Amino acid sequence: MTNPIRHVVIVGGGSAGWLTAGVVAADHCAKSESGLRVTLIESPDVGPIGVGEGTWPTMRDTLRRIGVTESDFIRECDASFKQGSRFNQWATGAEGDYYYHPFVLPQGYTDTSLVASWLQRHSDVPFADLVSFQPHLCVHGKAPKQMSTPEYAAVANYAYHLDAGKFGMFLRKHCTEKLGVKLVLDHVVAIQTRDNGDIAAVQTREQGPIEGDLFIDCTGLQSLLIGKHYEIPFLSQKHVLFNDTALVVQVPYPHEDSPIASQTISTAQTSGWIWDIGLPTRRGIGHVYSSAHTTDEAAERELRSYVERTGGPANAPSPRKLSFHPGYRTKFWHRNCVAIGLSGGFIEPLEASALAIVEFSAAMLSDQLPATRSAMDTVARRFNDAFLYRWERVIDFLKLHYILTRRTDSAYWRDNCRTDSIPDRLQDLTEFWRYQPPSRYDLPRIEEIFPSASYQYVLYGMGFRPQSPPAMRRSDDPERADEFFREAAALTGKMLKALPTNRELISHIKRNGLPRI
């Protein structure tokens, strides 16, 4: 049990496998003869699922960590800039029903209470529009930085939209050519175990057994190692979040210079919602829905109607159907096997949490990588505790979008508001928030997956209001809050004049690149 960890074997490629390989190989000098060996086994027949194609701002740190240049990434992955999400028709279903969840914190968020002043003096203005400049950048299709801003630096906090297939190939090339990751193109057909229950090797069809000290399961929904081999139970969340099917289609722009949206657009439908993601060469659109509340045929009709209404062709190709079971494993690290990506769990594409969970998993694995097998169980307990907590927080935050709706036009929206579909922990929080806004005290861990500001954006964007005005507190300084509202407005005017559009910046990067620090 004191055997040193010298060889990490990752089973499965795609975004999860290659991001994990990149982080571990970069951090542990896989290219050096004295560094950690990293091998990735990828089936030549399994392509990426590519649901959502959205990321969080954390992706900038991850790409920088593994030595990727931002200019190359944008050029080769058909990437664009994302500054948050816009939600249409979630609260009431009316045409003018919208709100933003931007990536920038509200102006003055840590200095004073903004909510009390907003409610008392400016309740006719959408919360995010008042406290942040970023929704206004999104409305005008602006980029989050200037052409002279260095790689990964930001004027406004940002993430990316990307082509998942191209991203996987880009990471594969970088990891194998720059970071020393060994690629094995083959099928895993069996798993060999040691007497103590650890995985000793994975048996491949053409190249025989590949031995390792630590195995990473990135086999997606197949979950070959953690699910099929170790039979770690799967904790279904279908009773909380109902969506289990998506219809996905790629839609061309009407013109080569058509604007590129600066945010993910999420538009509520009868029994689900449609995502709309703008890449430089196309839009990625998908309808995610509950198969218990609608049919595939009805969902496709709504998808096609949306595509036509938003400038897409009337004869869009037949969508690709994806099915999934929302939930996660009860353990992600068992013995010498770690599940990262879809093998560990998946809920739905709302708020693009899937790739973020991959990033957090790869980072913790690499940062805490045990030196020996004897230290592995301690790290595994920490890892499992951290990610059970994170999955619970993801579920709470996603469910929050549904329980605040005032839509009653279908069983789907009515069922989402049933008390028995809402986790107890979320019920407790929403009751507490009737008397004071979400704060860091509601989210006790240092590395929370969603900050309290995100809860405020969704709560107040969906029309949530306290039951009665709370007693005045010293932190409720209306004059100070108004100063921050004016700051946000001034920044809005300044940035709208100074920033290029999303398409202008991406075109510049393709021609000239971004400055390197």
Q: Residue 15, annotated ligand binder?
A: yes
Residue 197 CA to residue 10 CA, distance in Å, equals 18
How does the average pLDDT of the chain come out, rounded? 95
Q: Residue 13, annotated ligand binder?
A: yes
Counting every residue written for the chain, the total comes to 517
Q: Residue 308, annotated ligand binder?
A: no
The pLDDT > 70 percentage for the chain reads: 97
Is the pLDDT assigned to residue 316 strictly greater than 60?
yes
Residue 241 CA to residue 239 CA, distance in Å, equals 6
**Angle, helix 353-367 to helix 14-27, in steps of 10 degrees:** 30
Listed by start position, the domains of the chain span 7-53+163-238+326-392, 245-323
Q: Residue 42, annotated ligand binder?
A: no
Assigned token pair, 228: 């099929």
Residue 226 CA to residue 334 CA, distance in Å, equals 7
The pLDDT > 90 percentage for the chain reads: 91
CA nearest 362: which of 133, 22, 73? 22
Element (H or E) spanning 253, and its range?
Answer: none
Question: How many angstroms from the chain centroid is the CA of residue 370?
Answer: 27
Our answer to whether residue 31 is catalytic in this structure is no
Neighbours of 380 (CB within 10 A): 20
Give the pLDDT band (50/70/90) at residue 364. very high
What's the pTM value of the predicted model, to 2 decimals?
0.96
416-442 average pLDDT score: 95
In this predicted structure, what is the pLDDT of residue 468? Answer: 65
In this predicted structure, what is the pLDDT of residue 459? Answer: 98
- CA gyration radius for the chain? 23
Is the pLDDT assigned to residue 473 strictly greater than 80?
no
Residues forming a β-bridge with 289: 245, 272
Q: Are 191 and 337 in contact (CB under 8 A)?
A: no
Residue 245 CA to residue 175 CA, distance in Å, equals 33
Give the pLDDT band (50/70/90) at residue 48. low
Looking at domain 7-53+163-238+326-392, its CATH class is: alpha beta
Q: Distances in Å between the alpha carbon of 247 and those of 108, 278, 321, 322?
A: 41, 17, 5, 6
Q: Residue 82, annotated ligand binder?
A: yes
In this predicted structure, what is the pLDDT of residue 398? Answer: 98
List the catalytic residue out of 31, 82, 178, 331: 82
In sign, the C-alpha dihedral spanning 116, 119, 121, 127 is positive
150-188 per-position pLDDT tens digit: 999 999 999 999 999 999 999 999 999 999 999 999 999
390-406 average pLDDT score: 98
Residue 411 CA to residue 515 CA, distance in Å, equals 52
199-257 per-position pLDDT tens digit: 999 999 999 999 999 999 999 999 999 999 999 999 999 999 999 999 999 999 999 99
